[in-house]
Chains A and B, each alone.
Chain A
Amino acid sequence: MSDTEFEGIVASPWSGGASPFAINSKKLGMWLFIISDSLTFSALLISYAYVRLETPNWPRPFEIWPAIAKSSLMTFVLLSSSLTMVLGVNAAFNGDRKKTVRYLIATIVCGIAFVAIHATEWVTLLGEKVTPWSNPFNPAAPLFGGTFFGLTGLHMLHVTIGVVYLAIIAWGFGKGKYTAEHVEVSGLYWHFVDLVWMFIFPMVYLLSVNPK
């Protein structure tokens, strides 16, 4: 059987000969993970909305300065890291290894900055005696801390894992061990972490601005 004949038989996605989505399996795997992870975050956000709706006098402790200013800066840092990430993916496909690693390092630095600013925010709240099981603003709504630390904590964990993941990819891609596809798939994960913050920031912070 000649090569062209063989291709003609298996080319149709319906016969199982070609990828119906025209992407590699790593990318499809990451997309499926992202969808399942987005449902985890949706469940957390919806349960937060649930307890907030049913609890009278849900606390709204965040002042414009410093809490909202800080979280806005965090949003800016994370959005910028997404831009450097996507430019890094483009550089990887163009075969520019040095530029890719530089963009990935910029992304990692933004990720670390995000976690660092967020940590100071946590320390402030813990200093005000807000913990996952107690709430000094309104003792009748102890779940305030639980939902806040649960949501932001899981997101922070994702950012931390993302920083480690990107560091491994940057190291491996710089050494020529990984291909541009690896960079693109790690980019998908990083953009997803950014996307989740685009919901946590308005829902957790902007809806809890002190009304006074």
Chain B
Amino acid sequence: MSAHGHSAELTHEHAVGTTKLFATVWVWLLLLTIVEVYLAYLRLPVPIMITILVGLSLIKAALIISYFMHMRFERLGLFLLLIPAMVFCICMMLLMFFPDSIRLMQLRPH
């Protein structure tokens, strides 16, 4: 494993985070899910629901990426390489699709 020793300094080849930390994240994810299901049970108007659900889902995604996918323990460079480009692409898709779907929604007979 002598060849391995060198790369161990460049990459962190050891366990990150504790069982307690990951269990805490899991409990938080479950709590947020319970809130989401409860909101669906209340049958709030769809526009309010979309806003809250997307918000909560983004928090859950951030928790999964930071802790379960170890992004919090990586270099900032990896985050900067991956996430802003993805967010930009998704925003471009939203910009193209939504004005048109809202236009079609207003066109349809009431």
Residues of A in contact with B (beta carbons under 8 Å apart): 18-24, 28, 31-32, 35, 38-39, 42-43, 46-47, 49-51, 53-54, 56, 64, 68, 72, 75-76, 79-80, 82-83, 85-87, 89-91, 93-94, 180-181, 184, 187-188, 191-192, 194-195, 198-199, 201-203, 205-207, 209, 211
Contact = CB atoms under 8 A, between A and B. Distances in A.
Contacts, number: 148
Interface in B51-110: 53-54, 56-57, 60-61, 64-65, 67-70, 74-75, 77-78, 81-82, 85-86, 89-90, 93-94, 97-98, 100-102, 104-105, 108
A90 B15 CA distance: 5
Contacts of B100: 50
B41 A199 contact: no
Contact of B30 (A47, A49, A79): A79
Interface of B: 7, 10-17, 19, 22-23, 26, 29-30, 33, 36-37, 39-41, 43, 46, 49-50, 53-54, 56-57, 60-61, 64-65, 67-70, 74-75, 77-78, 81-82, 85-86, 89-90, 93-94, 97-98, 100-102, 104-105, 108
